[in-house]
Every structure is written in structure tokens, then in C-alpha cells.
């Protein structure tokens, strides 16, 4: 049986690869099921502190929904298929630890929506991306209308979605859609960042992500209260004491997520 998602773990970092290169890593129902299974495994593994998601090959990060698969579907089945993409993307967004999208090739429709659900996006120079759904007489259905507008602002999100025009990675960097642009191996760069993240306290990473994601949807006072509650979670940990001791002894700390 071929695996549509491969998972490699090294140095507390998981690398998830969409493995449908011949289909430009399109989001088939089976791929989505396998992705959801891998997310569950990673979230249950306390030894994984950061995850990188990328696509096989160099042509596409993810071309979006598998439109060939949809040809024989009824309207009801299409709606359910879109819901499956949305639910899987949301599971990526709410993974306990940080997630980096290594955008190694084109990212369109659901593929860009998957990247939007990640915490950080690193793109290879020259790749194109966009929410092109209105050109197919549909709209982004896996969070694109909501996450893109929160990331780049209402006006720019409306422009990109209404025109259905792709943009280059350079343009994506300029508007804040991606955080970094690289000219060489984007996966290597993402793994390098992931290892830097994984050097930090895993419980702190989890609570920092939680504070940011929950707080951004609220008013400032509520957000500050959320931050305080998340901060409290780090106080009784062995890692916090190890961090203080390592600082005193001028050495690298050894964190175990306890």
C-alpha cells in the first residue's frame, strides 16, 4: 500500500510530506484521511516539538482539491468533500505545537488554505500561489476567506479572492502572506527553523501558540487574561527550572516537556 503522507521524525521535528507528486499533491479524500491520522499521532507524541509540512517534488506544494475525484460526485458529496478539507485544515491549525509550511511549489485553492492554517510560511522564490476558486464559480471553502483576511487585511484578501489571480512568492512576502522567501532548498530552510524552535521549551511553545491563537480573536483585556492563564501552565514545570539552571550555568538547557 502506497502512503499518500510520509512522516519523518528527527531531532524532535516531524516532516510531513504530501506524497502525490504526479497529481501535484492534490487533496484527495484518502490523502486527507492519512493527513488527519498523522496529525493525531504527532499531537500525541510529546517528543515532537515542531512540524514541517511540504509537498513531494518541486512543482507543487499542493494544487488544492482533487478535481478529477470530484467529477463523479453529487452536489451533496462535493459539499461533504469540501467539509473534509476544511476539518483537516483546521486540525493542522490547532496542532499543539508550531507548524511550518515549506511552500516548495505552486499552492492554489485548498493548497494555499492548508498553508494558511500553518503558523509560519516559508516559500521558494518563483513559486505561485492564490485562492483561485471564484474562477471555477465557487469560493474558498476551507477557511481561505477567513484566514487570508486576518493575515493580509480585508482589502488585499478581497482583491486576491475576487480576481482569482495568482501572485508570486515575492508578492506574497510583500503583503505578509509568507514570512520568509528562499532561493535554495525551502524544506532545508524550514527544517532549520523548526530545529531552532525545537530547542526551546516544548510546554512553553504549546502555551505560547495557544495564547496567540485564542487571544487574537478577542479584545485586548480578554487576550491578556488568556496569556496569563497560559503563562501559569509553564510555572510548575521541570523545564522552567532547567531553563533557569542552564542560564545560571551558562549551558544549553535540556528540555523534556515536563
Q: Which of 60, 86, 109, 113 is catalytic?
A: 113
Pairing of strands 106-108, 128-130: parallel
Q: Which of 14, 105, 133, 190 is catalytic?
A: 133
Q: Look up 133 and say whether it is catalytic.
A: yes
Q: What gap in Å lies between CA 35 and CA 26, rounded to an integer?
A: 12
Q: Which residues contact 115 (CB under 8 A, 6 or more apart)?
A: 53, 61, 62, 101, 103, 107, 121, 129
Can you tell me whether residue 4 is helix, strand or coil? Answer: coil
| CA-based radius of gyration for the chain | 19
Q: Look up 86 and say whether it is catalytic.
A: no
**What are the DSSP E strand ranges found in the chain?**
5-10, 13-18, 50-55, 60-62, 99-103, 106-108, 120-124, 128-130, 167-168, 180-182
Q: Look up 238 and say whether it is catalytic.
A: no
Q: Which of 26, 60, 65, 106 is catalytic?
A: 65
Q: Which of 55, 110, 144, 243 is catalytic?
A: 110
Q: Look up 72 and say whether it is catalytic.
A: no
What is the DSSP secondary structure assignment for residue 94, as one 8-state letter?
T
Instruction: Evaluate whether 130 touches 108 at the Cβ level (below 8 Å).
Output: yes
Instruction: Evaluate whether 196 touches 151 at the Cβ level (below 8 Å).
Output: no
What residues act catalytically?
65, 110, 113, 133
Amino acid at each position: 500500500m502506497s502512503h499518500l503522507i510520509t512522516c519523518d521524525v528527527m531531532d524532535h521535528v516531524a516532516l510531513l510530506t504530501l506524497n502525490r507528486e504526479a497529481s501535484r499533491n492534490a487533496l484527495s479524500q484518502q490523502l486527507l484521511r492519512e493527513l488527519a491520522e498523522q496529525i493525531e499521532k504527532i499531537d500525541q507524541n510529546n517528543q515532537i516539538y515542531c512540524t514541517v509540512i511540504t509537498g513531494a517534488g518541486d512543482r507543487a506544494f499542493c494544487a488544492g482539491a482533487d478535481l478529477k475525484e470530484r467529477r463523479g460526485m453529487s452536489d451533496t458529496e462535493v459539499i461533504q468533500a469540501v467539509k473534509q478539507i476544511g476539518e483537516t485544515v483546521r486540525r493542522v491549525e490547532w496542532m499543539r505545537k508550531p507548524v511550518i509550511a515549506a511552500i516548495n511549489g505552486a499552492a492554489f485553492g485548498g493548497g494555499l488554505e492548508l498553508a494558511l492554517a500553518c503558523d509560519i510560511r516559508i516559500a521558494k522564490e518563483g513559486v505561485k500561489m492564490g485562492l483561485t476558486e471564484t474562477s471555477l464559480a465557487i469560493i474558498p471553502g476551507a477557511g481561505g476567506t477567513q484566514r487570508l483576511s486576518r493575515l493580509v487585511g480585508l482589502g488585499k484578501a478581497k482583491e486576491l479572492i475576487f480576481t482569482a489571480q495568482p501572485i508570486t512568492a515575492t508578492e506574497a512576502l510583500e503583503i505578509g502572506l509568507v514570512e520568509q522567501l528562499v532561493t535554495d532548498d525551502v524544506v532545508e530552510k524550514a527544517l532549520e527553523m523548526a530545529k531552532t524552535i525545537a530547542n526551546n521549551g516544548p510546554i512553553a511553545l504549546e502555551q505560547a501558540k495557544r495564547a496567540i491563537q485564542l487571544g487574537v480573536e478577542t479584545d485586548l483585556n480578554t487576550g491578556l487574561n488568556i496569556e496569563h492563564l497560559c503563562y501559569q501552565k509553564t510555572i510548575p514545570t521541570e523545564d522552567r527550572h532547567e531553563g533557569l539552571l542552564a542560564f545560571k550555568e551558562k549551558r544549553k538547557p535540556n528540555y523534556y516537556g515536563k
